[in-house]
Amino acid sequence: MARKRRKHAQISLFAFQDVMASVIGILFFVVLMMSLDIVENATASDDDRQQFETAKAELQANIQALNNRRQAILKEMALLEKQIIIVSAKDDQDILDEIGQYERNLKVLYSQLEQNQIGANEQSEKLEENKKLYSKEVRQCDESERQISELKAQLAEQASTPSLSYIIDGKLNMTPWLIELTGNNIRVASHDMATIVEFNALSHKSREQIFTAWAKSRDIRSDYFVILIKPSGWDVYESSFRENIFGLGFDIGMDLVPEEKRVF
């Protein structure tokens, strides 16, 4: 007996296209949402990074400005130290000691600042802490500048008068000779001003040779010298005068005097 053939259900092409379109639409929507989320996260990350970089750059700029300011302070202190002459008065030595202490403090602060700058570059989480340290060191720098100004005023006041007390103390049996040194003249006077000698040759070398010959004629057992240096004579003193006069073996005192002050 012949078998009847079963009829197979036919798949509709249009139905398949509808299903595929729906799946593709869902996938597109999912991909779109993921893309938006990624873009938002990237934007937020870029904003945070930009804010951090801006804050770090601002701190580094402030730190560099403080570095420059400290360098200027150190240069000013070096210039101030060059102008200070060791004198016998105790107060002057105290001032020199204080200036040396402030210089050492500034060097310590400068070293701390360098360490803070390295930390700011390597560890972003310490940004706020470094800002606080920067503000603290700025205040300390202001205080150091104020103290330096006070010391300058004290030094100027003391330098305006020769240390005549030093000339007499401890040398009652010796004769002091005052030596006024300027850029173009060397003048010598006895302590009672009874004898005044000028060495005003045309060249500094000639003046110094004549003065050295005079100094050698003094008696090291009974005479000693006190050099009164005016600002214009400082380079002369540093270049050769100091070495020559100390080489004679006399007891020597020193002091700074204003350019316009007439000592004798």
Q: Which residue has the higher pLDDT, 212 or 153?
A: 212
Tens-place pLDDT, residues 188-216: 998 888 888 898 877 888 888 999 999 99
- Choice among 18-32, 120-134, 242-256 with the minimum mean pLDDT: 18-32
Mean model confidence pLDDT for the chain: 74
Residue type, position 161, single letter: T
Tens-place pLDDT, residues 43-93: 555 666 787 778 777 777 776 776 677 677 667 766 766 665 544 444 556
Q: How do strand 186-190 and strand 252-256 relate by DSSP bridges?
A: unpaired
Tell me phi and psi for residue 108, to 5 degrees.
-65, -45
Q: Which residue has the higher pLDDT, 18 or 137?
A: 137
What pLDDT is recorded for position 189?
Answer: 92
Tens-place pLDDT, residues 167-189: 444 456 788 899 999 988 999 99
- Rounded CA-CA distance 264/242 in Å is 22
What are the b/e assignments for 233-256, b being 16+ CB within 10 Å? bbebbeeebbeebeeeebeebbbb
Residue 140 has pLDDT above 60, yes or no: yes
Q: Are 188 and 197 in contact (CB under 8 A)?
A: yes
Mean pLDDT of 100-111: 76
- Rounded CA-CA distance 73/144 in Å is 9
Q: Are 253 and 225 in contact (CB under 8 A)?
A: yes
Residue 149 has pLDDT above 90, yes or no: no
What pLDDT is recorded for position 126?
Answer: 67
